[in-house]
Amino acid sequence: MTDPVDDLGIPLRVRRPVRRVVSLVPSLTEAIATSCPDLLVGATEWCSHPPDLRVERVRGTKNPHVRRIVELAPDLVVCNQEENRRIDVDRLRAAGIPVWVTRIHTLDEAFASLRRLFTEALAVDSPTWLARAVTEWSAPPADPFRNTVIPIWRDPWMVVGRDTFTADLARRLGLRLVHADRPDRYPTLAAVELTEEVDLAILPDEPYPFSETDGPEAFPNIPCILVEGRALTWYGPSLTTARAALTAAMQT
């Protein structure tokens, strides 16, 4: 039987059945914990969902405790090309730990990648919530599009740009990111550039914790809404409710 390959085309040679998993991606932690809770033995400190998750924490996405992960003897470690560092993936593989790396820049890539994670890497059934998420996002976007900015940081200001999962999700919501024509995927902007041609500002609570008193003041005379960052950036069970939650927020 041919070994499955991850999203980067790297063959996965893993013991079957997979019984011990460490996840270094919050979205994937939630996906696995919701569908196969008995498999997870480790996750990052940023893995906040499900709220009752009780597994060993192995530091963060950019500085995982590689030695401790090896000591946990997982059958599989799950990573993401954007959220995790290549050097940590290489160190885990050099220690003999199988690693499955996802690459997700669009909703369709998220759906396909999650399906393969479960059916090929973990060798379990595709979860029912994934089918619900696909249905939830199958409706066409609103028309006409609204010129939008989605900051993810301030001092300096950074915003969502091209070729990102959040940009594709925004497009499905009927939003046009005004800075998506810049070369960087997450452009850094001067304050004066932040509001040019913008009709709507969406401020998530992560990675920067925008709030009613921190962020909206930068967008005078522009509608500004605060949303859960997880609804904009996480791919997993949150996709079953994200569209309805974001649409409702934009209508208030």
Domains of the chain with bracketed CATH: 21-126 (3.40.50.1980), 146-250 (3.40.50.1980)
Residue 111 CA to residue 131 CA, distance in Å, equals 9
Q: What is the mean pLDDT of residues 9-31?
A: 95
Distance from CA of residue 116 to its chain's centroid?
A: 16
**Residue partners of 128: CB distance under 8 A and separation at least 6:** none
DSSP state of 208: S
Average pLDDT score over residue span 126-138: 97
pLDDT of residue 92: 98
Q: Between 251 and 95, whose confidence is greater? A: 95
Q: In percent, how much of the chain has pLDDT > 90?
A: 92
152 with 160: CB under 8 angstroms? yes
| 3-class SS shares of the chain: helix, strand, coil, % to 5 | 30, 20, 50
The residue among 96, 91, 124 whose CA lies nearest residue 24 is 91
H/E stretch holding 100 reads strand 99-102
Mean pLDDT within 186-212: 95
Measured in whole angstroms, the distance separating CA 112 from the mean position of its chain's CA atoms is 14
pTM (two decimals): 0.92
